[in-house]
Every structure is written in structure tokens, then in C-alpha cells.
Amino acid sequence: MLDVAIKKQLPEFLLRVEFKFNNGILVLFGPSGCGKTTLLRCIAGLTSPDWGQISHDNRVLFSSELKVNLKPQQRRIGLMFQDYALFKHMDVEHNILYGAPKGSSLVAKTYPKILELFQLSPLLKRTPGQLSGGEQQRVALARALMAEPKMLLLDEPLSALDGGIRRQLQDELIAVQQIWRIPIVVVTHDWQEAQKLARQIIFMEQGKIKIA
Amino acid sequence: MDWIPVILSLKIAGLSLGIVLLVGIPIAFLMARRDFIGKSIVESLLTLPLVMPPVVTGFILLYLIGRRGLIGTFLYEQFGIQLIFTSGAAVLAAATVAFPLMYQSAKAAFLSVDRKMEEVARTLNANEIKIFVTVTLPAAFPGIISGVVLAFARALGEFGATAMIAGNIPGKTQTIPIAIFFAAESNEIAKAGLYALIISLVTFGLIYGVNHWLKQQT
């Protein structure tokens, strides 16, 4: 279970969030600039909250009281940025395997499975610049999964894509959750998408949760 | 035609480039990523040799590494090393004037790296050294290469500071620019002209080559 209760002062408002989330897909829904991305960064360990606690499966990731602040490397949480942030100077294969634990038997099993699920085999030798938006999204997702995360955070994963491919990737996200059985937090400001993906929806505005 | 100054120049420029890389890359990375009190003063000092007359740079170096200089005394008393008027001094002079070019290019390159790639790498369990070597450095590579070429070309052409602390010793400190100066002084115009042509061709080739390469990268 992911348990978040934090405060962080942002330039324009105070981010104040408190929620618990068990499994499945949690959607953070709200207008741009309402603090959703900062919240994801706090969970991943890339930004520190001013106050509060974040724990996952009874493991404390951040606690202002206990003075705990695990590094991103210690959290085992995958994060996918809105623009994917693929390593431009590496081919698809090296991107995907970047975070894969060396010599893990699980990797040997997962890798072919991921290539098949995301139809990546024909793209392995290409660089990110030679991929379409949907292909880049798949590579980024594959890269995050190969690091064997215990949770996935996706910041507007589909906002750069249009119509058909977007619906297809929504289905893939649901499939990923069902296969890996890890909690996934998805940020979106598309209401239809939120409804399709979510087991739980959190509405955010100006750094606060409206209804959970 | 005496090729020794040409070979010596390449050697001295190459060695000074090595020093500039080793010192310049870490400093450029720190200056691009860290904030501290007095940063703008440090920034100005690091860039100073670019705008200061090389003779002044040479004069300061002379004061530092000369027999009675701060560093010179220490080196001589502790290790018996005397740097002044050796090829080591020529390397030091070339490295000092070339440093800002490497530093500026590398810093701009590090600043232009998409920080999100580094952040993603952190969530992919990579430690900071792995991130620097596999993500930051390759992403900054084109900028660093242009710094390498500019610094090498500048080191090759260094005259003022070299003349101050290394002098004109054939086979030891007589680089192409020094050779040109003394050949012209003693009215050996053909010799001076030939050296001038060589150094012009080499530096032009370097700059043209790197520009061409950079164009292909984008």
C-alpha cells in the first residue's frame, strides 16, 4: 500500500496531499500546474517534501519526523516523464536494458516478454530520434519495467499522442498492471482516460485534493 | 626545413590538452551544477586567461613558478624540480591560456544536457558515477569535442606566456610561434612564412573539421 501525507511549499501555492492507495491504477486528475508532477517527483525521491511521510508496503521512503529520505535509487519506483526523457545517444536496446539488474534471472525472463508485449523487437537498433511518439512511449515504459520497480509513476504518459494510438496504449497500460501486479499512478487531465484507467481517482486543484 | 618546432608544438599542445581536459571537465561540471558563495568570482577567475594579454598571464606564471616564486621555491626545495625555461613550462603556459576555451565549451555543454535524463537514470537504480559516465558525458560530448579542438588550436598558437616562462630554446621550448617570431626578427622571412603557413593550415583544418562533424551530429 502507498501511503502519502505531505506538505510542500511551491512558488504559487502550498501542495498539501494525503491519500492511501492499495493496488491497481490510481489516477491523479486535475488541471496543469496543480502540483501533480511535483507529487510524483516527491514519491520518486527526486524532490523532497517540506513535511510529512511517504511509505510503501510499510517501508518508509520519506519521513520528516524520522529524518528519513531515501534516494531514488533505494526506492525501486519507476518514473516516466511526459516527454519520456529517453537517452538520445543510446539505441532502443540500451535504453530498455539501462536499469535492468545485471545477471538477474528475472531479466532473462522479462526481457523477451516486454519486447513482445510492446512490439519492440524490430526497433532495437534505432535511436530515440528515429521513433514515433507512440514507439517512444513504449520504449520508456519498457525501460521503466526492466528495472523491476515495485511501483510505477507515469506523468501524462499519453498526452503527446493522438486518437487511435492513445486508446491502444491505454489498453496496454491496463495489461501491464494486470501482468506485473504493481501499483501504477497515472497523471492525466483527460477525463475519459481517467475513467477508463482508474480504480481510484484523486482530483487535485491548486495543490489540494478535492474529493478522493 | 626544420621540423623540430612543429613536432615540439604538437607535443606541447597535446600534453597541455590532456591537463586541460583532466582539470577542465570536472570544474566545468561542478560550475554547471553547484551554487556556492563567491561563484561569480571563481567564474571570472577561470575565464580570465581568455581575455588577459598572454604576456600578463606569463608574467603571473613567472612570478609563481620562477626560482623565487611561491610554487617554484616549493618545487625546487621539496623535489629539486625547476620548471622555468623547460618544456614543462611551455606546457603550463599553453594549458593556462587554453583552459578557458575548454572550460567554457564544457560548461555550456553540461548546462544544455536534459536533466530529466539524469533523473530517470536515478529512478533506474544508477549511481551518480554511472550516470555521469553513461548519460551526462555522452550527452555533452559534442560540446566537449568543440572545446577540445578550440583548446588544442589555442595551445598550438600560444606565444606570449610561453615566451615569458619557457623562452626560446631550440628542441626544448622553441614552438612554432616562437620560431616564427625569432625567424622574422633575424629576417629569415621564408622560414617564418613557412611555419606561419603550417600553423594556419593545421588550425584551419581543425576548426573546419570540428564544425563539419558538429553539423553531422545534429
Largest interatomic CA distance in chain B: 67
Residue of B nearest to A147 (CA): B124
Phi and psi angles of residue A100, each rounded to the nearest 5 degrees, phi first: -70, 130
Give me the total of CB pairs closer than 8 Å, taking one residue from chain A and one from chain B: 62
* Nearest C-alpha neighbor of B88 from the set B70, B106, B72: B72
Phi and psi angles of residue A133, each rounded to the nearest 5 degrees, phi first: -55, -45
Best of A40, A41, A46 to substitute, by most chain B Cβ atoms within 10 angstroms, is A46
Strand partners, A80: A154
Interface of A with B in 137-156 (CB under 8 A): 143-144, 147, 149
Q: What CA–CA distance (Å, rounded) separates B78 from B64? A: 16
Is pLDDT above 60 for B100?
yes
* Nearest C-alpha neighbor of A47 from the set A16, A3, A1, A10: A10
Indicate whether A54 belongs to any domain. Answer: no
Indicate whether A58 belongs to any domain. Answer: no
Residues of B in contact with A98 (CB under 8 A): 121, 124, 126, 134
| Residue B141 to chain A, least CA–CA distance (Å) | 10
Phi and psi angles of residue A5, each rounded to the nearest 5 degrees, phi first: -150, 95
H/E stretch holding B78: helix B70-79
Contact state of A87 with B127 under an 8 Å Cβ cutoff:
no
Q: What is the pLDDT of residue A31?
A: 87
Mark the ranges of chain A whose per-residue pLDDT is less than 70: 211-212
Domain that holds residue A129: 25-45+75-200
Residue with cell 531515501: A70
Cβ-based neighbour number of residue A13 at 10 Å: 14
pTM of structure:
0.87
Q: Is B120 on the interface with A (CB under 8 A)?
A: yes
| Residue A100 to chain B, least CA–CA distance (Å) | 8
CA dihedral B4, B8, B10, B12 (to 10 degrees): -170
Q: What is the pLDDT of residue A212?
A: 56
Phi and psi angles of residue B175, each rounded to the nearest 5 degrees, phi first: -85, 175
Cβ-based neighbour number of residue B64 at 10 Å: 16
Q: What CA–CA distance (Å, rounded) separates A26 from A74? A: 22
| Residue A45 to chain B, least CA–CA distance (Å) | 8
H/E stretch holding B154: helix B137-156
DSSP B103-138: HHHHHHHHHHS-HHHHHHHHHTT--HHHHIIIIIHH
Contact state of B122 with A45 under an 8 Å Cβ cutoff:
yes
pLDDT tens-place string over residues B35-84:
999 999 999 999 999 999 999 999 999 999 988 888 999 999 999 889 99
Q: What is the pLDDT of residue A147?
A: 94
Contact state of A77 with B123 under an 8 Å Cβ cutoff:
yes
Name the pairing type of β-strands A25-29 and A14-21: unpaired
| CATH number of domain containing B147 | 1.10.3720.10
Q: What CA–CA distance (Å, rounded) separates A16 from A48? A: 13
| CATH number of domain containing A104 | 3.40.50.300
Residues of B in contact with A101 (CB under 8 A): 125
Residue with cell 491505454: A170
Interface of A with B in 47-86 (CB under 8 A): 71-73, 75-79, 81, 83, 85-86
Select from A45, A75, A81 the Cβ nearest to the Cβ of B120. A81
Residues found in chain A? 212
Q: What is the pLDDT of residue A46?
A: 96
Best of A79, A90, A141 to substitute, by most chain B Cβ atoms within 10 angstroms, is A79
Select from A46, A89, A144 the Cβ nearest to the Cβ of B139. A89
Indicate whether A209 belongs to any domain. Answer: no
Distance of CA B116 to the CA centre of its chain: 31
Q: What CA–CA distance (Å, rounded) separates B71 from B167? A: 19
Q: Is B109 on the interface with A (CB under 8 A)?
A: no
Residue of B nearest to A46 (CA): B119
Indicate whether A56 belongs to any domain. Answer: no
**Residue A117 CB contacts under 8 Å (≥ 6 apart), including other chains:** A172, A175, A176, A179
Indicate whether A119 belongs to any domain. Answer: yes
Best of A41, A56, A86, A87 to substitute, by most chain B Cβ atoms within 10 angstroms, is A87
What is the number of domains present in chain A?
1
Rg (CA), chain B: 20
Contact state of B124 with A99 under an 8 Å Cβ cutoff:
yes
| Residue A206 to chain B, least CA–CA distance (Å) | 24
Contact B161, B61 (CB under 8 A): yes
Q: What CA–CA distance (Å, rounded) separates B57 from A19? A: 62
Q: What is the pLDDT of residue A166?
A: 86
Phi and psi angles of residue B206, each rounded to the nearest 5 degrees, phi first: -65, -50
Domain that holds residue B112: 4-217
Residues of B in contact with A157 (CB under 8 A): none
Q: Is A89 on the interface with B (CB under 8 A)?
A: yes
What is the number of domains present in chain B?
1
pLDDT tens-place string over residues B151-163:
999 999 999 999 9
Question: How far is CA B191 from each of CA A111, A192, B109, B194, rounded to the nearest angstrom?
Answer: 66, 80, 40, 5
pLDDT tens-place string over residues B6-39:
999 999 999 999 999 999 999 999 999 999 999 9
Indicate whether A132 belongs to any domain. Answer: yes
Alpha helices in A5-91, H assignment, sequence order: 36-44, 72-75
Q: What CA–CA distance (Å, rounded) separates A157 from A186? A: 7
Contact A118, A132 (CB under 8 A): no
Contact B154, B97 (CB under 8 A): yes
List strand residue ranges (DSSP E) for A34-137, in order: 51-56, 59-63, 68-69, 77-80
CB-neighbour burial class of residue B85 (10 A; exposed 0-12, middle 13-18, buried 19+): middle
pLDDT tens-place string over residues B117-147:
999 999 999 999 999 999 999 999 999 999 9
Indicate whether A85 belongs to any domain. Answer: yes
